[in-house]
Amino acid sequence: MAAAIANRPYVPADSLVGRLIASTDWPAYVEHAFVRQLGQGSLPEACFRHYLGQDYLFLIHFARAYALAVYKSDSLAEMRHAAGMVKALLDVEMGMHVEFCAGWGLGEAEMAALPEATATMAYTRYVLERGQSGDILDLYAALAPCVVGYGEIGARLGAEPAALARNPYRPWIEMYASPEYQQLVTAAVAQLDRLGRTRMTDARFPALAKTFDQATRLEVGFWRMGLGLES
């Protein structure tokens, strides 16, 4: 695992996120068959479109989770960070996602009317439940695998020329490999460290690692849902 962490300049091994990554089966997520096929350009288009539609629904709940983080915050700085994430999701990422999906024949009204797949419901409700029953650190631990994992996947695939040349999924890869998204990941890692400095104890780490691990496994389930066209 140490070698893998070395390839994540924005995730120091001694950071809280680095420790959490080391406690779970991270490669099962970031090296999933869905990701490998996407990088090779061999992922069936039907699988990608199914994933895109469910990801639209996922992002709505992700924004709700960051709105919950505003409520769970103990300081104005924490509130501003969470509110900034809500704004970025609603005003930037959702717009980019809708525009991107249009290129794949998916309109926003069509995606909004989609029934949520079981994997989508399981993941989003888990994140919200952890935020509702725990504190802001629990919530951010549940949110972190998505933010950090997509950053790693984008950076890795974006650095592989074969992943970009004549790859129909090149725009998706470039979106998550972009400096703007990588900066968002860096900020998320730093924020979790800041929260950990005031709320983290050695006794609490196993429970936090369990939350991070569960969210990571739900990410794996989300890829499996896309690859298997699961409803």
Tell me what pLDDT residue 215 has.
Answer: 98
Catalytic residue among 101, 116, 146, 152: 146
pTM: 0.91
| Ranges of residues in the chain whose predicted pLDDT is under 50 | 1-7
DSSP string for residues in the chain = -HHHHHT-TTS-TTSHHHHHHHTTTTHHHHT-HHHHHHHHT-S-HHHHHHHHHHHHHHHHHHHHHHHHHHHH-SSHHHHHHHHHHHHHIIIIIHHHHHHHHHTTT--HHHHHTSPPPHHHHHHHHHHHHHHHHS-HHHHHHHHHHHHHHHHHHHHHHHT-HHHHTT-TTHHHHHHHHSHHHHHHHHHHHHHHHHHHHHH--TTTHHHHHHHHHHHHHHHHHHHHHHHHT--
Read off the pLDDT of residues 60-75 as tens digits, 9 standing for 90 and up: 999 999 999 999 999 9
pLDDT, residue 4, reads: 42
Report yes or no on 109 lying in a domain: yes
What pLDDT was estimated at residue 10? 66
**Residue 10, domain member (yes or no):** no
Q: Let me know if residue 9 belongs to a domain.
A: no
Q: 58 lies in a domain? A: yes
Q: Is 219 assigned a catalytic role?
A: yes
* Residue whose C-alpha is closest to residue 154's, from 7, 16, 53, 13: 7
- Domain span holding position 88: 52-228
pLDDT tens per residue across span 99-126? 889 989 999 999 999 999 999 999 999 9
Selection from 88, 100, 91, 21 nearest residue 55 by Cα: 100
CB atoms within 10 A of CB 162: 11
In a domain, 18, yes or no: no
Q: Give a yes or no: residue 158 inside a domain.
A: yes
Two tokens, residue 183 = 């900066």
Domain total in the chain: 1
CATH code at 64?
1.20.910.10
Residue 8: inside a domain:
no
> What confidence score (pLDDT) does residue 14 get?
82
Residue 3 lies in a domain: no
